Amino acid sequence: MHKLLRGTGTAVVTPFAADGLVDFEAFQRLVDHQIEGGVEMIVPLGSTGENPTISRSERTEIFRWIIEYVDHRAIIIAGTGTNDTRTSVEFTEEALALGADAALVVTPYYNKPTPNGLFSHFKAVADVGLPVLMYNVPGRTGLNINAETTLRCAEIENVIGIKEASADFAQCMEIIRNAPAGFHLLSGEDNLTVPLIAMGAKGVVSVTSNEVPREFSRMVRFALDGKVIEARAIHYELLDLMKVNFIESNPGPVKAALAMMGIIQEQLRLPLVPVKPESRKKIKDVLEHLDGILLEEMA
């Protein structure tokens, strides 16, 4: 499994219909967009998938549907992490039974566990037997997994890597330099993907690839192949989109963009709400500036 943890993973949004239910027709359009765009990994029910608002029955339905629909055309890394170890274990057991390839397990939020607590949490989830990709996102969890703790967790059987969204280059470099064989770091920040790959990261779990999977995955493959000039050119071409995707809380902006592209409806679950009119205009301006790279329908 760890040999395949390389390239572009899309942290897919969860499409909702006007009645608030999961919109599987839109989900199919979104997944087709990813597969046709050449991404290597699809990551449902991460932060971008509005994980905290998804019920247990919906989670099961989403995991079952996406695993069956993708049918090994991309790696499925199921978002199973919560701030409760017992629940995270249960969700990971379910993902394993349904056929997921790996689990994305976020640092427990709100609880603020100690380094020993973090180690015990990730070990308990990894003991399920499904490969675990740790997820460090201090901006959402209020807690950073430092390099020392990450490297300790890297020795746990079935812990295969970390999605790093700390934006701390020194921390990322320490992890990459000292990680055991088979443990990979993936960027969790779209706009830092190319420089992190230059340091030794193996890819990214991306928000922006929801919209532009073909271009984003080309950028990542160029970077992994050492074709810096080509990767840099795409990086700057997509930089404004990477930035505007976080003009408001994710996934508000990317859902607005995908709706403009005709892929999903712009529906979010409270406490998230649609983006403000001024943000919507900035998103539309960025999409139009991309000169037809995106799909044909622009609202």
Out of 3, 109, 135, 281, the active site residue is 135
Residue 255 falls in the annotated catalytic set: no
Q: Which of 110, 112, 163, 227 is catalytic?
A: 163
Active site residue 163: yes
3-state secondary structure the chain: CHHHCCEEEEECCCCECCCCCECHHHHHHHHHHHHHHCCCEEECCCHHHCHHHCCHHHHHHHHHHHHHHHCCCCEEEEECCCCCHHHHHHHHHHHHHHCCCEEEEECCCCCCCCHHHHHHHHHHHHCCCCCEEEEECHHHHCCCCCHHHHHHHCCCCCEEEEEECCCCHHHHHHHHHHCCCCCEEEECCHHHHHHHHHHCCCEEEECHHHCCHHHHHHHHHHHHCCCHHHHHHHHHHHHHHHHHCCCCCCCHHHHHHHHHCCCCCCCCCCCCCCCCHHHHHHHHHHHHHCCCCCCCCCC
Active site residues: 135, 163
